């Protein structure tokens, strides 16, 4: 997917989302509802869950460690906020923004949650991790909002799918990690099929694709290889669909398989919307299919026949 810059088209990338992010950290919520302190008998490890929620796991600590924590001298709010500001990387934020926000965080913990500055100073490393994760969550929300401006379904969307911004697979560059060792495929673009197991639901997808007479050739798309693979920018990362197919009439069919355990999560929903937008903006030249269960494998054949009916 591309955006227009002057008279030129270029691929939609992460920086385009950053340019559209309308957020102010200094005005964002500064509460840390999941932040707690260890008691006299137990310590606590704060981590972030897969649902972006703070999670606490209590662990024993020695009396010696507890005594060291209890004897830490309190830092003034400004000094503690300044230390927190330098405890983790945030190149997209100014010191003015983080300074105001972190002062609000410390103030909220002392005024509303009744933590003492002595305790916050003693547990500043734990506090820094909690603050870093909170800022990540705020940033992620802002990025999702920015992505929504690209996902407008009507003609006002700034996204284009055009031959002027086309990715081409390099016949001499296919940076797979693991080599497929099973029964041969007849239509794969490269001699080697990379990062595909000889069993399972993705393998069944590949078998269906390889059997289609509408398919001229196909590629097992390799993840995390932006220079050698086809990808679409998401609000948090790059989406590398599992299979990219060239149909005999020149159209492109892209297939993504999502197992039942991932079929309804937010990441999958965003990828499906992006794939559908990519198809809608291609003027009939691109087709996107997301398969969520083995029973839906027939969707691939149906889409290929509809896109390339003469074969």
Kindly report the CATH number assigned to the domain that includes residue 179.
Answer: 3.40.1350
Does 158 reside within a domain?
Answer: no
Give 140-191 pLDDT, tens digit per residue: 899 888 888 877 766 566 778 887 678 999 999 999 999 999 999 999 999 9
Contact (CB, 8 A) for 215 and 187: yes
Has residue 1 been placed in a domain?
no
Same domain, 220 and 289: yes
pTM of the model: 0.74
| Structural domain ending residue among the three candidates 86, 119, 148 | 148
> Contacts for 262-270 with beta carbons within 8 Å, 24 or more apart?
263/292, 263/293, 267/234, 267/236, 270/144, 270/147, 270/234, 270/235
Whether residues 208 and 288 share a domain: the answer is: yes
238-273: per-residue pLDDT in tens? Answer: 999 999 999 999 999 999 999 766 656 889 999 999
Retrieve residue 265's tokens.
């999560």
The mean per-residue pLDDT over the stretch 221-227 comes to: 96
Same domain, 139 and 244: no
Domain span at residue 34 reads: 14-148
**Residue positions counted in the chain:** 311
Do strands 159-160 and 286-291 pair parallel, antiparallel, or not at all (unpaired)? unpaired
Number of separate domains in the chain: 2
Q: Are residues 129 and 27 in the same domain?
A: yes
């Amino acid at each position: 997917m591309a955006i227009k810059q002057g008279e030129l088209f270029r691929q939609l990338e992460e920086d385009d989302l950053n340019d559209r992010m309308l957020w102010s950290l200094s005005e964002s919520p500064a509460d840390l509802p999941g932040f707690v302190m260890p008691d006299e008998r137990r310590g606590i490890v704060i981590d972030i869950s897969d649902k972006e929620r703070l999670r606490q796991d209590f662990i024993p600590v020695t009396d010696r460690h507890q005594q060291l924590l209890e004897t830490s001298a309190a830092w003034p709010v400004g000094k503690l906020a300044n230390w927190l500001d330098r405890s983790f990387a945030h190149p997209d934020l100014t010191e003015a923004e983080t300074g105001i926000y972190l002062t609000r965080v410390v103030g909220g913990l002392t005024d509303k949650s009744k933590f003492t500055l002595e305790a916050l100073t003693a547990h500043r490393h734990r506090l820094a991790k909690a603050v870093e994760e909170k800022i990540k969550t705020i940033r992620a929300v802002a990025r999702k909002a920015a992505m929504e401006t690209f996902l407008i379904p009507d003609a006002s969307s700034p996204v284009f799918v055009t031959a002027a911004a086309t990715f081409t697979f390099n016949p001499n560059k296919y940076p797979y990690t693991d080599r497929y060792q099973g029964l041969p495929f007849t239509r794969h673009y490269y001699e080697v099929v990379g990062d595909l197991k000889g069993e399972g639901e993705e393998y069944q997808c590949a078998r269906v694709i390889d059997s289609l007479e509408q398919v001229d050739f196909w590629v097992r798309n390799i993840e995390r290889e932006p220079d050698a693979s086809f990808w679409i920018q998401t609000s948090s990362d790059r989406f590398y669909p599992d299979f990219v197919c060239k149909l005999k009439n020149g159209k492109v069919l892209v297939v993504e398989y999502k197992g039942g355990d991932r079929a309804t999560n937010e990441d999958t929903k965003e990828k499906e919307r992006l794939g559908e937008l990519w198809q809608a903006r291609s003027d009939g030249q691109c087709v996107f299919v997301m398969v969520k269960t083995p029973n839906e494998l027939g969707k691939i054949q149906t889409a290929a026949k509809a896109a390339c009916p003469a074969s």
